[in-house]
Structure 1
Amino acid sequence: MKTDQLFIKRMTTSWTQAIRILMMVLSGGGTPLVVGVLFILLSIAYSRFLVWLPKDFPIAVLVAIIISLPLSIVRIRTWIQKADLTFLLPLETKMRDYFKVSLYYNCATYLARLTLFLLILLPLYRLRFGTIKDFMAVLIAFCFLQVWNIIASWLEDRLQPFYSSRFIFTLFFIRLLITGWLSYITLIYVHAKISLVLLFFILTVLHTFFLWRIFSKAPRFPYPWILFAKREQKIQAKYVSLAGWFVDLPQVRFPVKERKWITWLLPKLIPQGKPFSYLYWRTFFRHSELFSIYLRILLLAILIIVFLPNFWVVFGTILLCIWLFGSQLPQITNPHRYPMFVQIYPIDPKERRTSFQKMCWILISLLSIILTLVASFTNLLLSQVLGIGITALLISFFFSNFYLPRKIEKRP
């Protein structure tokens, strides 16, 4: 069996499904409009940021931190499924070609993502760092740094079965620090001293040699099958959840996180006799994507409001956030998400609807209030802020108590 062909087949199937879903998203009535408006808002906010940026602001440090995180946090995608622990495990000694092609694929995708990200930063680079010619040299340097991180991450994954998670995290943390410093030196290489460049080059070589020595002493097998399977499950859940903003898709089994730092409060805040309130809130916080979507939407909206303190921009941003997040909340009531016995609880169906409505009202209204408070610190008039806040709360109330419950009732 040619395992490299197996990887190519899985990759092709996955990309075919992704393109089909993308076409469904693009064919949606309001999707192009929403994406276009969001792109215009971000472009305007970016240009306003460049105009506002003070000359003494340590932008090189900030950009180095922003770049080093996606450079270092590499998740090698292998398309390994849970069933492979049974069917492919006997072929483990012949899986080298499979993972070799996987590394080639990941290098290509991560380099494409890096190039797009750096092109977005091109106006900022020309403003504060150097010319386009310098930018091309920086782009090549970052590409080498990305490939180095991919190889190092692959070696760290291979060491998972043999070393503790604390040791693996230590290796990652050292790599993150080196990547951050190298990113900073790369950005300012026109003005950097040769001694600093040589120093961090030596650190990179030493780290690579240290990691390779550890890997060379470890057995060649087994591969971290469970790690790859869980990672693939998370990646699929993330993409399905993202596409779910725009179209209804068949649900996959979403991974969950414990998040004990917040779930321990639920029994104290939710009164007894409200099992579905507890169930829905617990699902919201432990869901690996829904809670993250809420935070990402909130952060993105805050950035837009801060850099574009215009009445209509702020008002449109808040309405867009209400729609983007509110459209995700019906996922919580999907019966396929819970065990069968949950559906036969001897509880009035109205209690489920009421619990869902209250949860939607709290989350969406809290989103509106936070964004309105952020708008109050901009140059908008108090009357404008009050108008935005009151209108947003009214829309949140209508959205939570009428639109979303009806959307659930129409679900087949």
Structure 2
Amino acid sequence: MNQEAAVHREGTAGAVRQLWKRRFDHYRQETSRYWAYVARSQFFGFLFLIFIVSSYYYAKILQQLPTSFPYIWIVLLVLVPALAAGSVRTLLKNADRVFLLPLEPVMNVFFRSAFRYSLGIQAARSIILMLIAWPLYKHCTGTEGQPLWLMAIFVLLIKTANLLGSWQEGRFSSPGWRLISVGYRWVLSAAVVFALFGTGPLPGGFVLLAGLVVWAVVYKLGPGQRTMGVAWDYLIDNDRKQQYRLYLFFSGFADVPQLPVRVKQRRWLAGITDRYSFRSSSLYLYLFTKTFVRSELLGIVVRITLVAGLAAAAVQSAPVAAAVCLVAMFISLVQLTSLEQSHRYTFWLQTYPVDPRRKVAAVVRIISGAFTLQGIVLTLLMLLSGTGVYAAAPLAGLALGLALCATVMKRKFTASFEAE
């Protein structure tokens, strides 16, 4: 009887393994189609150009940079977000909480594959960022610096520990405890990176080990652990958020009908529309302004602006700071173009007795306004950083972006509207 149960369990595990393979194949085919649109837009060519220019200026800066430069803060800024952020991509769907619930005892096969895939992607990203910071580290440490392979192993260990911690956080029934755990992982990652690149592998390994022991003790004995088994709701919601961010990126290059709508109240910002005149000509302006301030798109632009501002303030080279701001503005403009797709499939807009051609003008106006505000903020930050004439770089990017909004973007939106 036990042998029959073992055979049945192994057969079920094989079916679960095939389920992951089918899910992953479908996901890969879907995303590869959108990546093809991204490639045709010359986005990768632009990134390659940025890479070449940045590499040149990076080398020039290192030649003039004193070895006493506080490189550790740049390393923290580059590495910690890549190491501490991120979660396991499970490819779970809403119906799985019902139909896969009986298979929960053998779902470890599914989740191990998901963990390996997520770790591979995020570890590669972490290593690439470490390689970017490596010339600065070697320049400032010289012969006292540690070998690349050893530091890469430690970076992979930190990333693996963070991903395991992120996975276990799904078992916390309290969002507050989950938030505390996330904050602790960020602080611990910063401490380990600081010790690793500041003093060496031995202190870094000690901080990592001590931090993991503390986390494990709190996880086992603390009051935050309540959920047993698979945290279906947390995993499904987490996967939905990750897929939304990916779709939002793709929507800047192609039509993405699968893009879900996530609404955030933000009453303090949504009140901007109260200033619009109450007439039919303001309908699309009202609608898309509400959509922008209540969607994830606003958060993305704000985060890009903050990261660009912090990076521009951290670097000592004015040309590099200017390049960072220009790249951030370009990425923001690409993301802002997805606003036009927000209500592409909203049926009720077809019933309004309003000239639909006003839609293009409203979207372009909102994108131009948001882009102008970002350009002004980055210009002010550049001025406060004392970059001199390079503070005009965001203004130049702003002028170019507004010209693109009034010409290329307007024609693209008009063609998209006529094709609907």
- Shorter-chain TM-score bucket reads 0.7 to 0.9
Distance 1:242 1:332, change over 3 A: closer
SS at match of 2:296: coil
> Could you say what secondary structure the match of 2:187 adopts?
helix
From 151, 176, 182, the equivalent of 1:138 is 151
Question: 2:27 aligned to 2, 11, 14, which one?
Answer: 14
Unmatched tracts of structure 2, length 5 or more: 1-11
Q: Is the 8 A contact 2:83 2:158 kept in 1?
A: yes
Aligned residues: 398
Find the aligned partners of 2:69 and 2:317 in 1 and give their Cα distance.
20
Residues 38 and 201 from structure 1, CA distance in 2 versus in 1: closer, same or farther, beyond 3 angstroms?
A: same
The equivalent of 2:49 in structure 1 is 37
Once the two structures are superposed, residues 10-30 of structure 1 have per-residue CA deviations (whole angstroms, 9 ceiling, x without a partner) of 1233223333433443344x4
Give 1:408's match in structure 2, choosing from 390, 406, 413: 413
- For the residues of structure 2 that align with 1:151 and 1:237, how far apart are their CA atoms? 23
Q: Deviations over 1:258-305 (max 9, x none)?
A: 262752442444443333222212222232246414652785499579
Aligned residue for 1:349, secondary structure, equals: coil
Distance in 1 (CA, whole Å) between partners of 2:332 and 2:261 is: 19
- Seen in structure 2, the aligned counterparts of structure 1 residues 365 and 21 have a Cα distance that, compared at 3 Å, is same
Output one character per residue of 1:185-219: Cα deviation in whole Å (capped at 9) or x when no partner.
11123397x6x864663342232233245599745
The answer to whether the 8 Å contact 1:155/1:215 transfers is no
Cα pair 1:152 1:208 within 8 Å, conserved: no
Alignment CA distance shift 1:95-1:56 (3 Å): same
Change (3 A) 1:249 1:168: same
| Counterpart in the other structure of 1:173 | 183
Letter in 2 for 1:19: S
**C-alpha distance in structure 2 between counterparts of 1:169 and 1:321, whole Å:** 28
Residue identity opposite 1:83 in structure 2: A
Label 1:165 to 1:375 Cα distance change in 2 as closer, same or farther (>3 A). Answer: closer
What's the CA shift for 1:120?
Answer: 1.6
Q: Give TM-score scaled by structure 1 length.
A: 0.80
Structure scoring higher RCO (CA < 8 A, sep ≥ 6) equals: 1
Offset at residue 356 of structure 1 (A) = 2.4
Change (3 A) 1:54 1:287: farther
| Contact in 1 for aligned 2:67/2:139 (Cα 8 Å) | no
In structure 2, the partner of 1:232 is 239
Q: Return the alpha-carbon distance in structure 2 between the equivalents of residues 173 and 331 of structure 1.
A: 31
Residues 343, 326 of structure 1: alpha-carbon distance in 2 compared, 3 angstrom cutoff:
farther
What is the aligned partner in structure 2 of residue 129 from structure 1? 141
Question: 1:45, 1:304 within 8 Å by CA — same for their partners in 2?
Answer: no
2:291 counterpart residue number: 283
Gaps of 5+ in 1: none
Q: Which residue of structure 1 lines up, in the alignment, with residue 6 of structure 2?
A: none
C-alpha spacing 1:254/1:49, structure 2 compared with 1 (3 Å) = farther
Deviates more, 1:103-112 or 1:54-63: 54-63
Question: Share of identical aligned residues, percent?
Answer: 19
Structure-2 change in CA distance of 1:215 and 1:100 (3 Å):
farther
Within 2, Cα distance between the matches of 1:218 and 1:365? Answer: 48
Q: Is the 8 A contact 1:45 1:307 kept in 2?
A: no
**C-alpha contact (below 8 Å) 1:80/1:232 kept by paired residues:** yes
**TM-score normalised to structure 2 length:** 0.78
Q: How far apart, in 2, do the equivalents of 1:217 and 1:379 lie?
A: 53
CA-CA distance at 1:156 after TM superposition: 0.9
2:124 maps to what in 1?
A: 112
Equivalence for 1:150: 163
Q: Of 228, 253, 258, which residue of structure 1 is paired with 2:264?
A: 258
Q: Which residue is 2:105 aligned to?
A: 93
Distance 1:272 1:129, change over 3 A: farther
**C-alpha distance in 1 between matches for 2:164 and 2:324:** 44
Residues 1:58 and 2:64 aligned together: no
| Counterpart in the other structure of 2:217 | 209
Contact 2:171/2:227 (<8 A) preserved = no
Contact in 2 for aligned 1:259/1:286 (Cα 8 Å): yes
1:203-245: CA deviation from partner (whole Å, max 9, x where unpaired)? 4223223324559974533x22232222222222322333344
| Pair 1:399 & 2:400 matched | no
1:76 aligns with 2:80: no
Secondary structure class of the residue paired with 1:68: helix
Which residue identity lines up with residue 186 of structure 1 in the other structure?
Answer: L
- C-alpha distance in 1 between matches for 2:117 and 2:401: 44
Aligned with residue 380 of structure 1, among 383, 389, 394 = 389
Distance 1:231 1:22 in 2: 22
